[in-house]
Amino acid sequence: MIKARLKKLKEDVYKANIDLAKSNLVTGTFGNVSGIDRDSNIVAIKPSGVEYSKLSSKEIVLIDLDGNIVEGDLRPSSDTKTHIKLYKEFKDIGAVSHTHSTYATAWAQAKRPIPCLGTTHADYFYGEIPCTRIISDNKIDKDYEEETGTLIIDTFKNIDYHNMKAVLVACHGPFAWGKDPKEAVSISVILEEIAHMNYMSVLLNPSSENIKKSLLDKHYFRKHGKAAYYGQK
């Protein structure tokens, strides 16, 4: 049973990584998608530095939550410890996606959260998309990738990760998550579109302000939560 689940997880993570590339959210070998089997606490993740055109489900690496390789001959993504940190702290997410997509990364490099300026944003993210503080030198020297995960967790002390499925890591780029690899990639695609849209909005009107709360609540909760009525049952 577990062997079959992990085989499917590797296939799903492989397809999600390919979808990331097809969505033009990655250049070269940038970016990675992982997924977790919560029953066994085994994570499947893209191997480090492998070109997407040469990737197959066989190359997807299986690791445990201590970072030990369970299956695979290649080294896992250099961002593995960040992914693991999110899985440990965000107890019910099923996948993590990381990119260096142009517009979301531009906001991260500007060290600015993405403001919630309109209903397109409000349909998917409950408020402005946060940006972490800049990582300190001692944390870079200590364990850079794990401390990057800690930065994200600290940023979400007062934010519900269920209603905000993305974050910008200052000077680095975006991370997103979902119930499975497919949703994590979908969130990354939506994040990039909103980052682009809001960039253009701020160019047109530098004094643009966040959407009023009543409109934010209406658009977000008509799609999410117990009282949602958007789409089909």
Active site (catalytic) residues: 123, 230
Beta-carbon count within 10 A of 214 CB: 8
Which residue's structure tokens are 């499975």?
A: 180
| Strand partners for 64 | 42
- Closest by alpha carbon to 86, among 169, 18, 30, 172? 169
User: What is the phi/psi pair of residue 7, to 5°?
Assistant: -65, -45
The amino acid at residue 95 is A
Tokens of 134: 């800049």
Q: How far apart are CA 212 and CA 122, in angstroms?
A: 10
Query: 46-50 — which CB contacts under 8 Å span 24+ positions?
Result: 46/13, 46/17, 46/76, 46/77, 47/72, 47/74, 47/75, 47/76, 47/77, 48/74, 48/75, 48/76, 48/77, 48/78, 49/78, 50/74
